[in-house]
């Protein structure tokens, strides 16, 4: 196993460390007004696994990721990450548990007034208290991994959408999250830029032990990287299983209908 403390992220160990449950949602209910979006939802994700959420628009996929990012609070239920409660929990604990989770959004959300390098080093320095030199060294390694070394001094507006999204991925990884949440990260991209971003994510899935929770309409990608696929409908998991099973022999009519519409 590598002892290189400057590695940009934790490499996949020979024997997975910390196996067991990393994320657990128990009886989570989320309402907007009188619309119940998630209804007593239970699920868990084991450390190092890659889980893809699929399902029709409005079925609650983004809501789950936003709950994990603490951008929303559940109305009922508990959320636990790495054995510590994220909800309900005191503010200080929420801030600590939140550091274990990184997210990449559909709309990149880079800081427009900062260079690529600064976009990546800002949070490690200000939130984790990392030295500027160490943060920059890690940022350079991450930029190499996402193929953007030549763009280190540019601002987001000088980059293509695909390049911006690869910076956003590097920025999320710079915080060394245990969990990476990905919400339709290629949906806003021109078609010719999608493959480059998916290749970077495949590489991360293959070479790191980061737990991934991914919402995507890219079914080939989902089939490649997922250990498990969860099919949502109206805020409930109606079917779950290995990708070969869900994509080739779905049991539920709703899953079949959904897949025939997107495949
Ligand atoms: N802030 C909000 N206020 C009110 N309703 C909301 C809010 N956010 C989401 N909703 C509603 O919650 C439901 C689930 O939304 P969510 O964004 O989780 O769906 P989704 O599965 O991610 O859909 P899509 O595939 O279109 O992204 C939808 O009916 C949506 O209109
Ligand atoms: Mg969504």
- What pLDDT is recorded for position 5? 43
List the Cα angle 52/262/208 in 5-degree steps. Answer: 25
**For the residues 43-61, what does the mean pLDDT come to?**
97
Using one digit for the tens of pLDDT, what is the confidence trace for 92-116? 999 999 999 999 999 999 999 999 9
**Ligand minimally distant from the alpha carbon of residue 59:** 1
Contacts for 32 with CB less than 8 Å, ≥ 6 apart: none
Q: pLDDT of 63-77, one tens digit each?
A: 999 999 999 999 999
**CB-ligand 1 contact for 151 (6 Å cutoff):** no
Under DSSP, the state recorded for 208 is: B
Nearest atom in ligand 1 to 217's CA? 25
- Please give the distance, rounded to the nearest whole angstrom, from the Cα atom of residue 133 to the centre of ligand 1: 41
- For ligand 1, whether the C-beta of 63 sits within 6 Å is yes
Please tell me the distance between residue 57's alpha carbon and the centre of ligand 1 in angstroms: 8
DSSP assigned state of 157:
G
* Spatial contact of 229 and 240, defined as CB atoms under 8 Å apart: yes
pLDDT of residue 34: 95
Over the stretch 185-202, which tens digit does the pLDDT of each residue have? 999 999 999 999 999 999
Q: Which ligand approaches the C-alpha of residue 61 most closely? A: 1
Query: Is 235 a pocket residue for ligand 1 (Cβ < 6 Å)?
Result: no
From the CA of 64, give the closest atom in ligand 1: 18
> Three-class SS of residue 60?
coil
User: How crowded is residue 35: how many other Cβ atoms within 10 Å of its Cβ?
Assistant: 9
| Residue 8 to residue 147: CA distance in whole angstroms | 14
Neighbours of ion ligand 2 (CB under 5 A): 62
């Amino acid at each position: 196993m590598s002892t290189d403390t400057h590695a940009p992220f934790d490499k996949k160990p020979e024997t997975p460390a910390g196996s067991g449950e990393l994320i657990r949602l128990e009886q989570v209910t989320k309402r907007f007004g009188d619309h119940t979006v998630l209804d007593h939802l239970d699920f868990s994700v084991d450390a190092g696994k890659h889980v893809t959420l699929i399902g029709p628009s409005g079925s609650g996929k983004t809501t789950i990721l936003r709950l994990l990012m603490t951008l929303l609070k559940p109305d009922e239920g508990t959320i636990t990450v790495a054995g510590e409660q994220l909800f309900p929990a005191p503010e200080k604990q929420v801030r600590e548990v939140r550091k274990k989770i990184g997210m990449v959004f559909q709309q990149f959300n880079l800081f427009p007034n900062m260079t690529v390098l600064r976009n990546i080093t800002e949070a490690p320095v200000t939130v984790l208290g990392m030295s500027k030199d160490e943060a920059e060294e890690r940022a350079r390694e991450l930029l190499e991994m996402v193929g953007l070394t030549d763009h280190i001094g540019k601002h987001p507006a000088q980059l293509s959408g695909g390049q911006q999204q690869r910076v956003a991925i590097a920025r999320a990884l710079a915080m060394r999250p245990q969990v990476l949440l990905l919400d339709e990260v290629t949906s806003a991209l021109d078609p010719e830029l999608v493959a480059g971003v998916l290749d970077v994510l495949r590489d991360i899935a293959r070479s790191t032990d980061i737990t991934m929770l991914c919402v995507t309409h890219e079914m080939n990608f989902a089939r490649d990287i997922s250990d498990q696929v969860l099919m949502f409908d109206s805020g409930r998991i109606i079917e779950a299983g290995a990708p070969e099973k869900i994509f080739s022999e779905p049991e539920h009519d709703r899953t079949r209908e959904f897949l025939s519409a997107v495949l």
